[in-house]
A = this chain, B = another copy of it.
Amino acid sequence: MASVKLIESTEEAYQYPLLIKQLLLSSERYGGDREIVGGNNGKRYSYTEFNQRVRQLANVLTAAGVKQGDTVAVLDWDTPRYLECFFAIPMLGAVLHTVNVRLAPEQIVYTMNHAKDDLVLVHDDFLPLMAQVKDQLETVHGFIQLSDEEKPQEAPLEVIGEYEQLMINADVHHEFPDFDENAVATTFYTTGTTGNPKGVFFTHRQLVLHTLALSATTSMNTQMQLLQSESVYMPITPMFHVHAWGVPYVATMLGLKQVYPGRYDPPQLLKLFVTEKVTFSHCVPTILQMVLSSEKAKDIDFSGWQVLLGGSAATEGLVKAAKERGIDAYTGYGLSETCPLLCTTWLQDDFANQSGDEQVKTRTRTGVPVPLVDMGILDSKGQFLPHDGEAMGEVVVRTPWLTQGYLHEPDKSKELWQNGWLHTGDVGTIDGNHVLQIRDRIKDVIKTGGEWVSSLDLENLISQHPAVDLSAVVGLPDAEWDERPHVMVTLKNGGDLSLDDIRDHLQPFIDKGMIAKWAVPDSVTVVDEIPRTSVGKIDKKVIREQLKKD
């Protein structure tokens, strides 16, 4: 077979690798007079200063012994300083480990050892923790203190110095090298309900491509211009969580005004929103809920604030409540494993003509895959299913910015990647307008008679029964059908609820074609309390174990 024609190049022709340092090229050119604002200490930097500080930080880190291939951990709130780390650390050829500061201390230690961190940049708030676990950190050879105070407190463990004090004396010149675009740039850990956190990792090439594709989707929609040159960006998703969804890289490439709030305290967020005239943020739905219901929010005019919701499904109620306050909320979808962007809400030309309720639905659906994302849904046999809004299958993706595996976990990596597709573990439908709707997690979906039933769909319907307080549906092993749905409920006023009550309640939904007849649960358990995980999610693993014992 013939082969493609490859590049014919001269000795001097330069294969320009895709490196994070190139995202900085346009930052100062496009940035003009715009600033990067630190809510942590009130400091403000022009893009010229920011670029200079990235070079200074590189010199500080080099002096602290950081070499290519090293891993530098950061434990910080959201600050301009963290943004400097987003650039300087990978630009040195080192790996940035964004430590999840909300993990339990033993998990933080686990991730820092597993990632083989060499140097640690740590905020005052986490210095006591570091002092406490210092002896358990196997590879760390030094700490740099991150302080928001003009006169930093004395650190409770030996540090190389405080960030700003080290910066003062650092040379403003630094030439960043070129290297392989497949060099790992960042790593961080994703937590499941069981087992140790798993490390994902992204390369320079992947982050540059993610930045470019994210910038297309956030700027190109006439009715939904999330990021434009005069937008003001404030993240409300921690920077340790998938690089704050990668938006800081986009905002910096385009020289936008950026506001980093420090800790996520609603009064602080609201104050910055007002004084800095923020136009775009992203967060998990609960944070938006918390901000809206804060006492201080009552007198604030939120009109013109665009908020991308992700991390978990937004409810129509929240999106509607936000709109009533002037906030345009949209949905984004992705995983830690996917850098994260896969889908966002995409407004078609007819959006403006939709009714208010339809608009809320459009904003709440999981969304449309962004450019360069190839996406399909697979049935249990690994066959691609039609995009008809009915067929439900596991969401699989290909795109150039997916983690190539879990760090040092080849077995788990093989589950993640199968036949050239990353398996998300999410189950969804894709409709004729190319809109993905996540319906369940694959481990929770009920596989019965060769069909899949969404446990979440059943829970939503059963929860509408007037006597039901909370419901949880799981699949139980069945000799004939593989699995059959079982529902566990708590009731509002005690008493009892029979299977027939549930069947009668579900019949109208069957008649309307909203669920299949065989999706009706075979059994019901009334309990006083439904098992939950440490973060408050329904724990279906425990439910299945409890029911197995019964």
Q: A residues within 8 Å of B by Cβ?
A: 1-16, 18, 22-23, 25-26, 28-30, 32-34, 67-71, 93, 95, 179-180, 182-184, 201, 203, 208-209, 212-213, 215-216, 219-223, 225, 227-231, 253-254, 346-350, 368-374, 398-400, 402, 404-405, 407-408, 410, 413-414, 417-422, 433-434
**Chain B residues with CB below 8 A from A183, complex form:** 4-6
B26 contacts A369, CB within 8 Å?
A: yes
**Chain B residues with CB below 8 A from A230, complex form:** 222-223, 349
A373 contacts B25, CB within 8 Å?
A: yes
A404 contacts B7, CB within 8 Å?
A: yes
In the bound complex, what is the Cα–Cα distance between A2 and B16 (angstroms)? 21
A67 contacts B26, CB within 8 Å?
A: no
**Chain B residues with CB below 8 A from A215, complex form:** 212, 215-216, 220
**Chain B residues with CB below 8 A from A228, complex form:** 220-222, 225
A410 contacts B10, CB within 8 Å?
A: yes
**Chain B residues with CB below 8 A from A347, complex form:** 229
B417 contacts A22, CB within 8 Å?
A: no
In the bound complex, what is the Cα–Cα distance between A402 and B215 (angstroms)? 22
Q: Shortest 3 CB-CB distances between A and B: which pairs?
A: A4-B183, A9-B404, A212-B212
* A-B residue pairs in contact (CB < 8 Å), sample of 27: A1-B67, A2-B67, A5-B69, A6-B182, A7-B404, A8-B201, A9-B413, A10-B410, A10-B413, A12-B420, A13-B404, A14-B421, A18-B400, A25-B371, A25-B372, A25-B373, A26-B372, A32-B348, A209-B212, A212-B213, A216-B253, A220-B227, A221-B229, A222-B229, A223-B230, A225-B225, A225-B228
Given contacts A2-B68, A229-B221, A346-B30, contact A13 B417 (CB under 8 A): yes
**Chain B residues with CB below 8 A from A219, complex form:** 216, 219-220
In the bound complex, what is the Cα–Cα distance between A1 and B433 (angstroms)? 53
CB-nearest residue of chain B relative to A254? Answer: B220
CB-nearest residue of chain B relative to A220? Answer: B219
